[in-house]
Amino acid sequence: MRLSLKELSIVAALGALWGSVEIGLGSLLHVWNVPFIGAILGTIGIAIALVGRVVVPRPGATVSIAVVAALLKALSVGGVVLSPMIAIVMEGLIADAVLSLGGRPRRGTFVVAGALAVVWNLIHPILIQGLIFGTGIITMYTSVIEKGAALFGLSASSVVLVFVGLAALYLAVGGGAGLLAWEAGRSVLARRAVGADGQGGAA
C-alpha cells in the first residue's frame, strides 16, 4: 500500500479525529463509569474511519487511520491503554478486510464492515483476558456462568442467549455506523466537489 502525500495527510487528520474522540470522550465516559464504553467509542471511531475510506478509496486506508488513532491513544492520561489500542487496530483491520474483499465501494459493504468491526468489541475482552491470564480465565468464566445459572435456576443456554442478543445489538449499531459513514462520506465528497468548483470559478 502506497498512499500519496495528500492521502497520507487525510489519514493523519482522520486518525487525529478518532484519537481525540478516544482521548477526550473516552476519558469522560471512564470518569462517569458509563457501561459499554468500548462499543460506544468503537462505533464513533469506525464511523470516522469508514468516512475516511469513502474519501480515500484505497485498501489499507481504514487500517492506517486506526493505527494512527491507536498510537495517539498511547498519549491518553488513563492507566491501561494497551487493550484499547489493540481493539482500535483490530476494528480498522476487520473493516479494511471487508471493504477490500467487497470490491467496489457500496452501501452494503460499508454496513457489513461497520457491523463486523463493532462486534469485535464484544469478543475483544475475552480474547485479551485469555492472552494475559491464559486459558485458566476461560475455565473460570465457564465455571462462574454454570454456577451462576444454576443459582438463579436458569439453563446455561440462556446465558448463551444473552450473549447472542448482545452480539445482535452490536451488529445493528455497527451496521448503522457503516450506513451513517457511507451517507456522511458522500456528503463530504459533495461538499468538497462544490468547494473545488467554487475555487476553480474564482480562479
Q: Which positions touch other proteins (CB under 8 A)?
A: 1-3, 5-6, 8-17, 19-21, 23-24, 47-48, 51-52, 55, 60, 63-64, 67-68, 71-72, 74-75, 79-82, 131-134, 136-137, 139-140, 143-144, 147-148, 150-151, 180-181, 183-185, 187-188, 191-192
Among residues 201, 14, 182, the alpha carbon closest in space to that of 102 is found at 182
Question: Cβ closer to other proteins: 166 or 183?
Answer: 183
C-alpha cell of residue 84:
484499547
User: Nearest distance from residue 93's CB to other proteins, in Å?
Assistant: 11
Question: Cβ closer to other proteins: 50 or 164?
Answer: 50
**52 to each of 63, 102, 130, 202, how far by Cα in Å?**
10, 17, 32, 28
User: Nearest distance from residue 87's CB to other proteins, in Å?
Assistant: 15
User: Nearest distance from residue 23's CB to other proteins, in Å?
Assistant: 8
Question: Cβ closer to other proteins: 141 or 165?
Answer: 141
Question: Cβ closer to other proteins: 24 or 165?
Answer: 24
User: Nearest distance from residue 155's CB to other proteins, in Å?
Assistant: 15
Q: What are the residue ranges of helices labelled H in the chain?
A: 5-20, 26-31, 37-55, 61-73, 82-101, 107-133, 136-151, 156-202
**What does the alpha-carbon distance between residue 64 and residue 4 come to, in Å, rounded to a whole number?**
13
CA angle 40, 134, 84 (to 5 degrees): 25
